[in-house]
Structure 1
């Protein structure tokens, strides 16, 4: 799970840095704020994956990790949408 979180968040960060580097018209400050948000979410998700709720009840653990997966995917999707909106502003 940790590797998947790292991979997904790094993909978003790579896109942020790529856009700042190769698209000079984009608002670099706004893109870097998106990157900051991704880094904060990454830290939050890594902490959450290390401290699951209800360690004694497998059903609670499964629900906990399903919710975590959903949160990770929605955070990445939200960041990609914000990034896309920034790029569309200059297109």
Structure 2
């Protein structure tokens, strides 16, 4: 991992991509506003939790633990974003 700063930027970028796609869908299909809002809320909560985890790593003394910790943060980030995109994709398929 290069830096915490880069990880935070990745978290922000991926989270805002999900939110951007949700707002685009809501603009084009205004009937599903509540479901899209729930996806956005879940994404924001997940983003805030991930940023908090990055700011307070476990095992600061052991480099191997820190590396494994940040790797788990990346894994959770990708899982969270993937889940949000799947929910949005399901809404798109319904239309």
**Would the TM-score normalized by the shorter structure come out above 0.5?**
yes
What pairs with 1:1-91 in structure 2 (closer than 5 Å)?
A: 1-25=7-31, 27-90=32-95
Structure 2: unaligned runs, 5 residues or longer: 1-6
Query: Runs of 4 or more off by more than 3 Å in structure 1?
Result: none
Listed one character per residue, the Cα deviations across residues 15-61 of structure 1 (whole Å, up to 9, x for unaligned) are 00010011235x11101100000000010001000000000000000
The number of residue pairs the alignment matches comes to 89
**TM-score under structure 1 length normalisation:** 0.95
Structure 1: unaligned runs, 5 residues or longer: none
- Counterparts of 1:53 and 1:14, CA distance in 2: 32
- Counterparts of 1:40 and 1:8, CA distance in 2: 13
- Counterparts of 1:75 and 1:36, CA distance in 2: 12
